[in-house]
Amino acid sequence: MFQRLLFERIEHRVVVGTIAFLGIMILLGWLAINEGARMRAFEERFLARSTEGGARLLASNCSECHGMDGRGLSGIAPALNSPHFFGFDFLAPVNAEIAQLNAEREAEGTTSARIAEIDARLVELDTQRNQLLAQMQTAIDRGYNPEQPSRLEQLGWGASRTAFVFTTLVHGRPTSVSYWPRPMPAWAQAGGGPLRTDQLNDLVNYILNFDKGSNWTLDDLLAVNQFPKIPGEGGVAAPENAAGTDVQAIVAAITEAPGDPVEGQAIYNDTAVGCAGCHAGGIVGPPTEGTYTRVVEIRLQDPALQGYTPEQYLVESIVDPHVYLVPSYGPVMPDYFGERLAVEDIADLVAFLESQDQPIQ
């Protein structure tokens, strides 16, 4: 009887089909509503496992130099667990108020009474600033510069902090031998190291997990055992006749006085400059071998470089490297070489790079 009513009468079929359709829609809607939360929970669990794996990797591979707590070892290697590494500026609130008050003081129409108030407040802020600096003195003695509170800005790094950590792990830091007892090795298998890419990502996640955001304290700063150094310290000093960043002027100068490729190779391989550390093997920057061939046959064919000469391209790549980024490579090259190299040095480097005219593989 029930079977006949359910399947033989069209009205019942419509009712059953409608109910089934609505049920399916409700189920799909519920799944869609909860999909975001489910994915977030999945990502959180994945990140937690990755971070745990990174903690084990740091303990077994990195703690010998950076410490088990990531706060560095004095004279050995810098801290990773540090407000400086994550760019927290303890002086920012005071500096911002000082700048705002000075701007208001110089603004047209500010009354003498308001100027007097501003001056009194500036005295208070100056006292606060000096007190903060006094509290930081232990950290300053260990290498902290409160006027350069961000490691990435200190290095002129243009990409993300994640990219900074990852690329440093990939290729190591061979130039650090000029200012630390030993250079940081390359950890990626692609660079001859022991770690897979997923392990590198675990390490990155653990290191980034140190970040406290806006909750860093002076106690955190004073707990750091060793702050980083600027690459080149203990190596080649910045010349008085630094080349600067006027590409056309530098090109004109090296056209009149071409460089020596042998001297250029010595500069290129100097750990205080660090060119070879990133370009050897083409892991971080384009490979050294075949540089000039690629400039002529590939780079200068890009419409973005229309009108460039090879010399102009090479000079700009040294002193202002973020103007043109080679496809597949990020803005990782420091932009301070114009202030650290003389025109003669750049001429020698260009001469050496022009000798790298091997065929493109």
How confident is the model over 12-55, as pLDDT tens digits? 677 777 888 888 888 777 767 776 766 676 677 878 899 999 99
pLDDT band per the 50, 70, 90 thresholds, residue 155: confident
The pLDDT of 240-254, averaged and rounded, is 91
DSSP-derived secondary structure letter, 358 = P
4 pLDDT above the threshold of 60: no
Q: Cβ neighbours of residue 204 under 8 Å, at least 6 residues apart? A: 54, 162, 165, 166, 169
pLDDT at site 237: 53
Closest CA to 272 of 346, 353, 174, 347: 174
**Number of Cβ within a 10 Å radius of residue 309:** 13
Record the tokens describing residue 12, joined without a space: 């019942």
pLDDT at site 171: 82
120 pLDDT above the threshold of 80: yes
Give pLDDT tens digits for 297-326: 999 999 999 999 999 999 999 999 999 999
CA distances from 334 to 11, 146, 158, 214, 301 (A): 76, 21, 8, 27, 25
Q: Cβ neighbours of residue 173 under 8 Å, at least 6 residues apart? A: 183, 184, 277
Record the tokens describing residue 94, joined without a space: 């005071």
The pLDDT of 238-252, averaged and rounded, is 87
Record the tokens describing residue 137, joined without a space: 């003195």
Closest CA to 261 of 178, 156, 335, 355: 355
DSSP-derived secondary structure letter, 356 = -
Query: What single string gives the DSSP state of each residue in 140-193?
Result: HHTT--TTS--HHHHHT--S-HHHHHHHHHHH-BGGGGGTSSSPBPP-BGGGT-
pLDDT at site 236: 47
Mean pLDDT of the chain: 87
1 pLDDT above the threshold of 50: no
More confident residue, 10 or 105: 105
CA–CA gap between residue 100 and residue 123 (Å, rounded): 14
pLDDT at site 234: 45
Give pLDDT tens digits for 212-234: 999 999 999 999 999 998 765 44
Closest CA to 283 of 161, 174, 177: 174
Query: What single string gives the DSSP state of each residue in 255-307?
Result: HHS---HHHHHHHHH-TTT-HHHHHGGGSSS--STTHHHHHHHTGGGSGGGTT
What is the architecture of the domain spanning 1-85+151-234? Orthogonal Bundle (1.10)
The pTM for the full model equals: 0.58
- CATH assignment of 247-354, given 1.10.760.10, 3.40.50.1100, 3.40.50.300, 3.40.109.10? 1.10.760.10
**70 within 8 A of 206, measured Cβ to Cβ:** no
The pLDDT of 139-153, averaged and rounded, is 93
pLDDT at site 21: 80
CA–CA gap between residue 252 and residue 352 (Å, rounded): 18
3 state SS of 77: strand
Phi, then psi, of 77 in degrees rounded to 5: -165, 155
The pLDDT of 186-202, averaged and rounded, is 88
* CA 308 to the chain's CA centroid: 29
pLDDT at site 145: 93
State the amino acid at position 311 in one-letter form. Answer: E
Phi, then psi, of 88 in degrees rounded to 5: -85, 125
110 pLDDT above the threshold of 60: yes
3 state SS of 233: coil
Give pLDDT tens digits for 263-302: 999 888 875 676 876 787 676 678 899 999 999 999 999 9
Residues of the chain with CATH 1.10.760.10: 1-85+151-234, 247-354
Give pLDDT tens digits for 44-93: 787 889 999 999 999 988 988 899 999 998 888 899 999 999 999 999 99
163 pLDDT above the threshold of 70: yes
Query: What single string gives the DSSP state of each residue in 213-227?
Result: TT---HHHHHH-S--
